[in-house]
Structure 1
Amino acid sequence: MSSLYFSSLVPMTHITLNNGIKMPVLGLGTFQSEPDQVVRAVEIAIDAGYRHIDTAFLYCNEKEIGMAVNNKINEGVLKREDIFITSKVLQ
């Protein structure tokens, strides 16, 4: 019975947002990334095909993530509307 259940599962690669745009479910996590290393890490991730970067204000690396994304936009690798940058909201 379990093999029948698992054989019918389809891998989920994107989630459809309320506005109809599809966002990748897999993203590069940047928690505990050193600010001096995160620019290169995000650039490599974008070159590898990542289009979802996860961060938070408390990670203190938002500026560097923005620099990496801007570098790749300027190189013509992607457009701003092609990448998702997610964060957290504190209560």
Structure 2
Amino acid sequence: MAFITPDLTAAAVALSALAIVSLVALRGWRDWIQLKREELNAGHGAVATHEPGVPHAGSRIEIADLKERLRKLEAIAAGVDL
């Protein structure tokens, strides 16, 4: 190995840079996943600004849907044609 060509040097530098960027991105990904796990374990997501006694908007929609289905079932049981 008498000499190293400029092409080989450029390829080695590019490969090293790619490896460093990949490792940094992997570290960031792992930290982000850990943050999300901690948020889930704490019992709230990223947008948890509601008070403890107030249900989420999704819960209110589900409750309204269940009430509507219950009204329909009661109407069917009473023999009312919808």
TM-score by length of 1: 0.22
- Structure with the bigger percentage of helix: 2
- Structure with the bigger percentage of strand: 1
Greater RCO, 1 or 2 (C-alpha within 8 Å, sep 6+): 1
